Amino acid sequence: EVQLVETGGGLVQPGRSLKLSCVASGFTFSSYWMYWIRQAPGKGLEWVSSINTDGGSTYYPDSVKGRFTISRDNAENTVYLQMNSLRSEDTATYYCAKGKDYFDYWGQGVMVTVSS
């Protein structure tokens, strides 16, 4: 059974940093691209980042480029999202997901609140 478990969320002040982790199981982690997708309270879904199988290629939308960094450890079956210079508009539930050009499994999500 595929499982994706996110941790690391919480309340953080604007301008500070936070690092999310997502531990994967139930599939060959090193064979899949991994993604982070977020959802602001009461709002829709926004893709945040992608990483290829060996971690050599990463992608971001303009809204987080230069502030967020995705990485992975294939030995630990874990994908990370380092979030720096956080803003109030980054407040959301953050999901990790696996897939190809679509997202076939999602974690349960972790809440990040950016507020003073």
List contacts with another protein (CB under 8 A).
Answer: 44-47, 50, 59, 61-62, 95, 99, 101-109
Dihedral angle computed from the Cα positions of residues 86, 75, 106 and 38, in that order, rounded to the nearest 10 degrees? 10
Q: Please state the closest distance from residue 62 (CB atom) to another protein, in A.
A: 8
Alpha-carbon gap, residue 103 to 78, rounded angstroms: 17
Q: Please state the closest distance from residue 86 (CB atom) to another protein, in A.
A: 20
User: 49 vs 78, which CB is nearer to another protein?
Assistant: 49
Given a contact cutoff of 8 angstroms between Cβ atoms, the answer to whether 114 and 88 are in contact is yes
Contacts of 4 (CB under 8 A, 6+ apart): 22, 23, 24, 96, 97, 98, 105, 106, 107, 108
Q: Please state the closest distance from residue 5 (CB atom) to another protein, in A.
A: 11
Given a contact cutoff of 8 angstroms between Cβ atoms, the answer to whether 41 and 94 are in contact is no
User: 37 vs 114, which CB is nearer to another protein?
Assistant: 37
User: 14 vs 104, which CB is nearer to another protein?
Assistant: 104
User: 16 vs 28, which CB is nearer to another protein?
Assistant: 28
Q: Please state the closest distance from residue 73 (CB atom) to another protein, in A.
A: 23
DSSP 115: -
